[in-house]
Amino acid sequence: MLAGVSRYLRSHGTWSTFLELRAFESAPPPWLAGWDGDGILTRTHSAEMATAILAAGVPAVELRSTNHSPGLPFVGMDNALIGHGVAEHFLNRGYRRFASYTLDTESFFRERVRNFVSRVEEAGSTCALLPALGENSPTDWEQHQADLIRWLESLEKPVGIFATNDQLAVRLLDACRRAGIAVPEEVAVVGCENEETLCEFASPTLTSVKFDGETVGYRAAEMLDRLMRGEKVSSEPVLIPPKGIEVRASSDEFVIEDPVVLRAVKLIRERAFTGIGVGEICDQLGLSRSTLERRMKASLQRGTKDEMLRVRFREVNRLLRNSDLTIETIAELTGFTHAHYLQTSYRERYGMTPGEYRKKSR
């Protein structure tokens, strides 16, 4: 959002800007009552803060929620489109069982879930809902995760779960890992807000809805500029659509109903980087190569070796984006015999070298 404000100011003239990053739970700053400013961009978290903003007596634009300051012009994300888009993401991958894990504290969380559920119901399915609880200590966290595991184990699988922000999604992934629930084969997870550091930190990496915070900031600065010049603006909220969904490992698979293919894919996820071969997978499953290939292609539209390479290349790309490891080290970590083989295979698959991808992705 700050980048969007900055872009507007570069185009329309610089303001003298006092920027204060505050924790949501903080009290209104004492200086606000006597502040000699011309306008405020605010993300308001409490009725007390909303009262203080209005008492300042200058134009203000709200960028978080209309819960506490319904009289202010508002610019924010279109939460209806967010919920609808996540439902489409799961439906397009063949999911017919759904759940949502959400905080019930804000209207935008409720709106995301409401539109997720309505789209799921349009498709003839239902959605299990679990409200998230806070935790204030390690003991509370452990109890919370134990409760979350019980809920996850109660769900019929495979299931697609929408977590209404990335922090909740990471809790889900941790609970799945503790319970031995395979992600995404049994439980696929999509978060919201696309906090890239958090999404890449998660294991597996987290699929998330991409916010367009820069456009929110730009439109809010534009609106405040008009208000400070004495112009009127519409009372209707300005809602910015999301930029799509950043698909990562937590939901990058189609539904797998075949139990044999599910076991094969789990083996590949667990051992793809150790050099496991198709023959070894067949031995572990007690199947002929032709039977496994036929069932893999029926479920995934690709064969066993193709799936192994897909998993390996996905990890190669993650390491290229998020580390400075050499190609030799990446090849060793991802199950490729030699760096040269990785280089050649990468160019054949993507039409560029690993180094070119690394430069482009950064």
Indicate if 177 and 62 belong to the same structural domain. Answer: no
Indicate if 117 and 183 belong to the same structural domain. Answer: yes
Give the strand order in the sheet containing 245-246.
Answer: 127-131, 98-102, 159-163, 187-192, 207-209, 245-246
What sign results for the dihedral spanned by CA atoms 258, 264, 265, 270? positive
pLDDT tens for residues 269-290? Answer: 888 898 888 999 999 999 999 9
Indicate if 89 and 204 belong to the same structural domain. Answer: yes
Asked if pLDDT for residue 80 goes beyond 70, the answer is yes
Indicate if 220 and 266 belong to the same structural domain. Answer: no
Q: What whole-number distance in Å separates Cα of residue 151 and Cα of residue 175? A: 10
Q: What average pLDDT does this structure show over 73-86?
A: 95
Indicate if 10 and 48 belong to the same structural domain. Answer: yes
Indicate if 207 and 88 belong to the same structural domain. Answer: yes
Q: Which of 200, 231, 251 finishes a domain?
A: 251
Indicate if 38 and 87 belong to the same structural domain. Answer: no
Which among 262, 58, 323 has a CA at the least distance from the CA of 333? 323
Residue type, 324: D
Asked if 70 and 237 count as a contact pair (C-beta separation under 8 A), the reply is no
H helix or E strand, kind and range, residue 162: strand 159-163
Indicate if 72 and 106 belong to the same structural domain. Answer: no
Q: Which of 188, 221, 251 finishes a domain?
A: 251
Indicate if 189 and 302 belong to the same structural domain. Answer: no
Which residues, in sequence order, are CB contacts of 352 under 8 Å at separation 6+? Answer: 346, 360
Indicate if 16 and 105 belong to the same structural domain. Answer: no
Instruction: Compute the C-alpha angle 206/64/222, nearest 5°.
Output: 110
The model's pTM: 0.80
In eight-state DSSP terms, residue 275 is T
Indicate if 275 and 334 belong to the same structural domain. Answer: yes
Neighbours of 138 (CB within 10 A): 8
Q: What average pLDDT does this structure show over 85-110?
A: 92
Which residues, in sequence order, are CB contacts of 188 under 8 Å at separation 6+? Answer: 90, 93, 95, 158, 159, 160, 161, 207, 250, 251, 253
Is the peptide bond preceding residue 29 cis, with omega within 30 degrees of 0? no
pLDDT tens for residues 194-221? Answer: 999 999 999 999 999 999 999 999 999 9
Indicate if 204 and 88 belong to the same structural domain. Answer: yes
Q: What residues make up the domain containing 10?
A: 2-76+213-240
Q: Which of 197, 227, 251 finishes a domain?
A: 251
Asked if pLDDT for residue 361 goes beyond 90, the answer is no
Q: What average pLDDT does this structure show over 113-117?
A: 96
- Whole-number average pLDDT of the chain: 92
Give the CATH number, domain containing residue 9: 3.40.50.2300
**pLDDT for position 135:** 66
Residue-wise burial string across 43-57, b where 16 or more C-beta atoms lie within 10 A, e elsewhere:
ebbeeebbebbeebe
For residue 101, the SS3 value is strand
Backbone angles phi, psi at 245, to 5 degrees: -120, 125
Q: What whole-number distance in Å separates Cα of residue 320 and Cα of residue 323? A: 6
Asked if pLDDT for residue 133 goes beyond 80, the answer is no
Asked if pLDDT for residue 45 goes beyond 80, the answer is yes
Asked if pLDDT for residue 105 goes beyond 90, the answer is no
Pick the range with the lowest mean pLDDT from 45-54, 65-74, 185-194, 214-223.
65-74
Question: What are the helix (H) ranges across the chain?
Answer: 2-12, 47-55, 79-92, 107-122, 138-154, 166-179, 196-201, 213-228, 259-271, 278-285, 289-300, 304-322, 327-333, 339-350, 354-361
Q: What is the dihedral of CA 304, 86, 207, 77, to 10 degrees?
A: 160
Q: What whole-number distance in Å separates Cα of residue 190 and Cα of residue 163? A: 6
Give the CATH number, domain containing residue 263: 1.10.10.60
Q: What whole-number distance in Å separates Cα of residue 143 and Cα of residue 139? A: 6
Q: How many domains does the chain have?
A: 3
What sign results for the dihedral spanned by CA atoms 261, 179, 208, 240? positive
